Amino acid sequence: KQEVTQIPAALSVPEGENLVLNCSFTDSAIYNLQWFRQDPGKGLTSLLLIQSSQREQTSGRLNASLDKSSGRSTLYIAASQPGDSATYLCAVCSQAGTALIFGKGTTLSVSS
């Protein structure tokens, strides 16, 4: 059974710092991995989707990498800003015809 783990559970950094969020999964046979952002009490915003054949995806200050063989993905946030404060969730699709399996998230706080 696929399990997704995110470390750390919470992270506090000063504005301007570059940071890395980690996601690991137990079964390397995945179709894709998706990173989301969630603000308190709000829905999820899709940040990046990495297909199984891809190694990384970039969007603005965000870069996500995928290493299927080791069961790991990282989300790199450059030059963090207070507006980046949110919970970041990673999720994997392990089987066609099934839905995503989520990690518990990393709550990020960026102070000005």
Partner 1 sequence: DTEVTQTPKHLVMGMTNKKSLKCEQHMGHRAMYWYKQKAKKPPELMFVYSYEKLSINESVPSRFSPECPNSSLLNLHLHALQPEDSALYLCASSQDLLAATYNEQFFGPGTRLTVL
Q: How far apart are CA 57 and CA 66, in angstroms?
A: 9
Task: Confirm or reject binding of residue 102 to partner 1 (CB under 8 A).
Answer: yes
Q: How many residues bind partner 1 (CB under 8 A)?
A: 27
Closest to partner 1 by CB, 34 vs 80, is 34
Q: How far apart are CA 107 and CA 100, in angstroms?
A: 20
Q: Is 103 in the site for partner 1 (CB under 8 A)?
A: yes
SS3 annotation, 52-89:
CCCCEEEECCEEEEEECCCCEEEEEECCCCHHHCEEEE
Minimum Å distance from CB 31 to partner 1?
4
Site string for partner 1, 25-44 (x = CB under 8 A): ------xx-x-x----xxxx
> What phi and psi, each to the nearest 5 degrees, are found at residue 78?
-90, 145
Name which of 40 and 69 has its Cβ closer to partner 1: 40
Binding-site member from 12, 18, 26, 46 for partner 1 (CB under 8 A)? 46
